[in-house]
Structures are given as structure tokens and as C-alpha cells.
């Protein structure tokens, strides 16, 4: 409606003109106020701040690795970047060993981590949002593999030593094996997976545990490609990995991060990120499914 001339001030003139003018001006002013109020109510309310929160990641190629001259890259780095963008949360990335990350998650120093495998103990202080799956394999030197075709065979030979990362979880079957070998002094535990590969090159162990997504990294660590052979010794195990959120985070922030990750799964972003770093076959192997 077009307002009367000089509508911002009360109309003047004869009494009749004044009455008519007042009526028109009042209707226009009322409509203007209603329109303004409607526009204000339709505008989305600004979301409250989220963070800053510490996101702690650990070196495990190809999920997260330090590329000389390029910095940290990998599946988890891309997932972290997208999670921060989509949630709108202020996330501060730090690099730690796996065992220290769980200590920091428990205490609340770290608010979240990626590629996290849930256990009953960890679920007492963290919430998990799965986005990947896999199964660890026992990798043996090519010359040893024909002689050791099972966990029982590896365990029966007291000369054999296993290389693993302190703080890792490999699934129920392999975790029990690691514990038994640990009590026999047959486990060399180091801070990260690159250190496992360095020890393997130095001949410090006879077997190591790796996901299929990391087999190419194992091959690349040796001059003789395929020097190590994967043996599927726990086909019944299925390990889920995902986003872990400290229960010390505010509920609203955990909800925002959870929803962001769930939306990344729903729209195919997680699969697209994985495909950037893995072959199509490896991508299918790690793609999360609600059912085995």
C-alpha cells in the first residue's frame, strides 16, 4: 500500500480530512510494523559459539601423515576440515600419540579425535559416531608367511616377535593375542605406525598388524615391494572406526558435531573423501555399513 504524503507525520487539514488521513496513516503504519516484525521473526537466529575445542589426530598413513614440504594430509585431515566447516565449530588441530590422545580425551584436554575404535572402557568417557570399518590383518615377511598361517602358529613359535602401536585396538581376537604375547615379552610397542615400519625395516619384529588401507604404505616402506604378506587370521572380527567426542564437551556442541558427521555420511562426503586417498577396492572395504 502506498502511504499518504507526509505519512511519517500526523495528517493536517479539515476535521474530516484529518480523520480520513489519520485512518490511512494508522493502517499504513500498522502494516509497516507488522511487516517489519514478520521479517525479523523469519530471519534465522545466529547459532551460539561452538568451541574452541582441541581435535587430536595421530600419524597412521594414509589416514593421517606428514608429507614433507606439504604438511599433514590424509583421510582424517580432510574429514577434520569438512567437520569444522559443516559444524561451524572452532576446532584446533593437534598431533599426538594414540595413547596420549585417549588420556587427553578422558581428562577433557582433547574434545575429539578421528579414526577412533570404541571399546567398553572408552565409551565411559566418549561418544562414538562410526564412519568407517575394517579388519586388521597379521602381516608377515614373505619368507615366513608360508610357515605361519594362523594366530596359533605365530603364538606357538616363541622366537617370533610382534610389532604394534601402543594404545591401538585391533578387534577382540587380535587384542587377546597381543595381550598374551605381551605377557611373554614378545611385543614391541611404539608410538605410531611409521615407527612400526622403521622397526620392521631394521628387522626388530617378525609380524605387524595393519588394515588393508595401509598395506600400500607397508610395501612402500621396503625396497622390495610386497616383502610383507597379509594373513587374514581373524575373519570373524569387524572393527568400526569413527569420530569420538569427549563426554566433557557441552551437549549442544556434541550434538552439532554429531549431526555434521552424520550428514557427511548421508550425502556421500565420507566416501568421496576416502576415494581421494584409496583405490576403489580399498574404499569399498572401509566404507561403513550399519550391518556387517
CB atoms within 10 A of CB 7: 15
Q: pLDDT tens for residues 203-219?
A: 999 999 999 888 888 98
Residues 129 and 246 in one domain: yes
- Residue 44 scores a pLDDT above 70: no
Residues 15 and 142 in one domain: no
Q: 46 lies in a domain? A: no
CA atoms within 13 A on the CB side of 282: 17
Cell numbers of 288, please? Answer: 561403513
Q: pLDDT tens for residues 125-150?
A: 999 999 999 999 999 988 899 999 89
Q: pLDDT tens for residues 49-58?
A: 999 999 999 9
62 alpha-carbon distance from chain centroid: 14
Residue that terminates a domain, selected from 212, 231, 250 = 231
Cβ-in-10-Å burial (0-12, 13-18, 19+) of 240 comes to: middle
Residues 78 and 216 in one domain: no
Q: 151 lies in a domain? A: yes
Amino acid 5: pLDDT: 43
113, 94 Cβ separation under 8 angstroms: no
Amino acid 70: pLDDT: 93
Residues 95 and 127 in one domain: yes
CATH number at residue 112: 3.40.190.10
Q: 189 lies in a domain? A: yes
Q: pLDDT tens for residues 109-126?
A: 999 999 999 999 999 999
Q: 218 lies in a domain? A: yes
Among 24-33, 89-98, 188-197, whose mean pLDDT is lowest?
A: 24-33
Q: Structural domain tally of the chain?
A: 3
- Residue 10 scores a pLDDT above 70: no
Q: Domain span at residue 23?
A: 7-40
Residues 141 and 227 in one domain: yes
Residues 129 and 150 in one domain: no
Amino acid at each position: 500500500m502506498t502511504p499518504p504524503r507526509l505519512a511519517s507525520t500526523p495528517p493536517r487539514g479539515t476535521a474530516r480530512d484529518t480523520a480520513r488521513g489519520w485512518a490511512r496513516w494508522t493502517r499504513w503504519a500498522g502494516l509497516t510494523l507488522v511487516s517489519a516484525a514478520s521479517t525479523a521473526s523469519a530471519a534465522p537466529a545466529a547459532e551460539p559459539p561452538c568451541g574452541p575445542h582441541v581435535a587430536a589426530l595421530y600419524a597412521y598413513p594414509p589416514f593421517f601423515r606428514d608429507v614433507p614440504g606439504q604438511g599433514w594430509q590424509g583421510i582424517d585431515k580432510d574429514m577434520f576440515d569438512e567437520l569444522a566447516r559443516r559444524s561451524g565449530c572452532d576446532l584446533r588441530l593437534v598431533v599426538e600419540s594414540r595413547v596420549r590422545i585417549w588420556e587427553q580425551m578422558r581428562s577433557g584436554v582433547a574434545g575429539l579425535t578421528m579414526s577412533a575404535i570404541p571399546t567398553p572402557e572408552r565409551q565411559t568417557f566418549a561418544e562414538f559416531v562410526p564412519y568407517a570399518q575394517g579388519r586388521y590383518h597379521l602381516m608377515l615377511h614373505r619368507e615366513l608367511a608360508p610357515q605361519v598361517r594362523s594366530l596359533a602358529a605365530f603364538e606357538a613359535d616363541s622366537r617370533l616377535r610382534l610389532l604394534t602401536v601402543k594404545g591401538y585396538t585391533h578387534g577382540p581376537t587380535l587384542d587377546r593375542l597381543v595381550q598374551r604375547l605381551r605377557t611373554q615379552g614378545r611385543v614391541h610397542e611404539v608410538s605410531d605406525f611409521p615407527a612400526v615400519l622403521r622397526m620392521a625395516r631394521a628387522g626388530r619384529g617378525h609380524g605387524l598388524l595393519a588394515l588393508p588401507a595401509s598395506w600400500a604404505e607397508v610395501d612402500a616402506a621396503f625396497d622390495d615391494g610386497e616383502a610383507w604378506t597379509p594373513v587374514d587370521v581373524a575373519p570373524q572380527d569387524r572393527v568400526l572406526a569413527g569420530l569420538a567426542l569427549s563426554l566433557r564437551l557441552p551437549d549442544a556442541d556434541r550434538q552439532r558435531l554429531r549431526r555434521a558427521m552424520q550428514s557427511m555420511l548421508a550425502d556421500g562426503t565420507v566416501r568421496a573423501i576416502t576415494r581421494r586417498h584409496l583405490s576403489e577396492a580399498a574404499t569399498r572395504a572401509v566404507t561403513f555399513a550399519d550391518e556387517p
